[in-house]
Structure 1
Amino acid sequence: MINMKKGDAPVALRKTAGVTARMTWSSHTDYDLLAMVLRTNGDVEYVATFGARGVPARLSTADGAVKHLGDVGREAQGVAEETIEVTLNESIRAVVPVAYSAQSNGTGSFYRYRVTLEIDNGVAGDMVVIAAENANNDDRVYSCVPGMIENAQDAVIIHALEQYSRRGSENRPTVQLRRSGLLRKGAEAIEVTMDEGPRNSYK
């Protein structure tokens, strides 16, 4: 197992047929996992059990390569989890898991409810964990991007981002390819920006 936190260098995992992104949290609240899927042509698809303004709920991408395994609700005790399965193909540039808790759920921070992202390529010892010990403790922050899965040519690159929405914002983040003169010719940076996506319509 590989533990990561914001500021760590990206980790390269062996490339396998499938990658699992699993988000866990205390089951005393009702978080939701969604994913932004960035295509190599710059297009973006959302995979989520709930919609946003102008964006319907979809449990998988159009090609079925990224699938949400279903919503879980609030439970009396224990740890809740939601899972997204990724079958990497050449059209996928990156997958960005997002944890979201609607304002109507009441107060409670990502730190307090132990929100943790696990990324697993199915190879023993390769699982990456971005743990709750490093999470934001603000009760009025509702969206978090713990990390990103980058589909490189010969590896799966995991980035620990730990980006958070503004206080009170229920807008989704966005992801895009951005060219930079600082990068080698033909290279593109992947940029995640909080709060610039559509407002979640769930709950």
Structure 2
Amino acid sequence: MINMNKGDAPVSLTKTAGVTARMTWSSHTDYDLYAIVVRTNGDVEYVATFGARGVPARMSTADGAVKHLGDVGRGAQGIAEETIEIKLNDSIRAVVPVAYSAQSNGPGSFYRYGVTLEIDNGAAGDRVMIAAENANPDDKVYSCVPGMIENAQDSVVIHALEQYSGRGSENRPTVKLRRSSLLRKGAETTEVVMDEGPRNNHK
């Protein structure tokens, strides 16, 4: 198990046929996991059990490469979890798992409810955990991006981000490709931008 925190250097895992992103939290609340999928051409798709303004609920990408395994609601034995399955292909640049708690859930922070992201690369046996020890304690922050899964040429690169929405914002994050003068000509970085996506219409 590799434990990561915000600011840590990215971790490279062996690329395999399947990657799993699993989010857990206390079953005393009803959070949701969804994924932002960014394509190599910059297009963005959302895989979620619920929709947003102008964006219908979709349990998988059109090509079936990224799939949500369903809303488990409040889990047993004190822990709830939801899972995204990812089969990386050449059209996928990155997948960003997002934890979401609507205003109607009432007060409760990502820190209080122990929101934790675990990523594994299946047959290769590697696991990365971005835990909640340093999560945002603000009761009025509703979206959390613990990390990003980047599809590199020869590996799967995990970034610990721990980014959060603004207070009271129900807008989704989005992902943008940015060109940088510090990188080689034509190279781009993948950047998660909070609160610039469509407004969630869930709950």
TM-score normalised over the length of structure 1: 0.98
Distance in 1 between the 2:75 and 2:35 partners? 23
State the match for 2:25 in structure 1.
Answer: 25
Structure 1 distance, partners of 2:106, 2:137, is: 14
Q: Which moved more, 1:32-41 or 1:119-128?
A: 119-128
| Aligned twin of 2:63 | 63
User: How far did 1:74 drift?
Assistant: 2.6
Paired with 1:8 and 1:123, the residues of 2 have a C-alpha distance of 25
How many residues align structurally? 203
* Structure-2 residue corresponding to 1:96: 96
Residue matched to 2:191: 191
Over the matched positions of the two proteins, sequence identity in percent amounts to 86
Give the counterpart letter for 1:100 in structure 2.
Answer: Y
SS at 2:133's partner residue? helix
Q: Which has the larger displacement, 175-184 or 160-169?
A: 175-184
Distance change (3 Å), C-alpha of 1:194 and 1:26: same
Conservation of the 8 A alpha-carbon contact between 2:117 and 2:129: yes
Distance in 2 separating the partners of 1:65 and 1:124: 19
Segment of structure 1 superposing worse, 75-84 or 102-111? 75-84
Structure 1 residues 89 and 140, CA gap change in structure 2 (3 angstroms): same
**1:125 Cα deviation (Å)?**
5.2
Q: Tell me, in whole angstroms, the C-alpha distance in 1 between the residues paired with 2:124 and 2:81.
A: 21
Query: Match for residue 165 of structure 1?
Result: 165
Contact 2:75–2:81, Cα closer than 8 Å, also in 1 = no
Determine if the alignment matches structure 1 residue 74 to structure 2 residue 74.
yes
Which ranges of 4 or more aligned residues in structure 1 deviate by more than 2 Å? 74-77
Give 1:75 deviation, angstroms: 4.7
Which region of structure 1 is more displaced relative to structure 2, 24-33 or 120-129?
Answer: 120-129
Amino acid corresponding to residue 142 of structure 2 in structure 1:
Y
Per-residue CA distance 1:136-168 (angstroms, 9 max, x = gap): 111000000000000000000000000000011
Kindly state the Cα deviation for residue 134 of structure 1 after the two structures are TM-superposed: 1.5
Report the counterpart of residue 34 of structure 2 in structure 1: 34
Distance 2:200 2:72 in 1: 17
Following superposition, the deviation at residue 98 of structure 1 comes to: 0.3
Q: CA deviation at 1:122?
A: 1.5
Tell me the distance in 2 between the aligned counterparts of 1:126 and 1:33: 22
Gaps spanning 5+ residues in structure 2: where?
A: none
Name the CA distance, whole Å, in 2 between partners of 1:108 and 1:123. Answer: 36
SS at match of 1:104: helix
Normalising by the residue count of structure 2, what TM-score does the alignment of the two structures yield?
0.98
Aligned counterpart, 2:117? 117
1: CA distance between counterparts of 2:187 and 2:12? 18
Deviation per residue, 1:5-49 (Å, 9 max, x gap): 000000000000110000000011000001000000110100000
Give the equivalent residue in structure 2 for 1:141: 141
Structure 1 counterpart SS, 2:148: strand
Structure 1 segment 47-58 matched on structure 2, within 5 A: 47-58=47-58
Q: Is the 2:97–2:146 contact (alpha carbons within 8 Å) kept by the matching residues of 1?
A: yes
Structure-1 residue corresponding to 2:7: 7
Amino acid corresponding to residue 127 of structure 1 in structure 2: R
Question: Root-mean-square deviation (CA), in Å?
Answer: 1.0
| Letter of the 1:190 counterpart | T
- Aligned residues of 1:11 and 1:158 also touching (Cα < 8 A): yes
- Does the residue aligned with 2:104 lie in a helix, a strand or coil? helix
Deviation at 1:126, TM superposition (A): 1.5
State the shift of 1:76 in Å: 6.6
